[in-house]
Structure 1
Amino acid sequence: MSTVSLDEALIRFAELMTEAADGEDVVIAAQDGTAVRLVPVQTKGIPRFGSAKGMFTMADDFDAPLEDFEPYER
């Protein structure tokens, strides 16, 4: 785990992000005693066109008029 001051973090931010992304604990401490920890965010990937193919089906009559709306049709 590495602890760096806020001033140092501003200078080395890209490097600290890389360290955190690689799994290392990075703590940034301010002079007033507050501190934060950099942690990587897990991404789910990029959705691809057609990736849901076969995951759902649509009824043959999905666009048929509904009986509940018959009184409102002209």
Structure 2
Amino acid sequence: MSDLLQLLPIYAFMLIPVWIPLIAMTVGGLRDAISAPARRATAPRAAHAARAVSRSGGPRVPAAGTAA
């Protein structure tokens, strides 16, 4: 049992590159779950605004240095 208690901190330290992403994913998932209702309320307006920007009309202007 004492061998296990000595090796456990060593393995926990070695697995820091695994623990950091796991903690980040957990915190990010909790944050997304908490802010999801607020995002759901603004999603239709944001999608409409993105479509409106992509349909920009107007005259086509040649790039600098290409006009004849």
Larger strand share, 1 or 2: 1
Q: Which one has more relative contact order, counting CA pairs under 8 Å at least 6 apart? A: 1
Larger helix share, 1 or 2: 2
Same fold (TM over 0.5): no
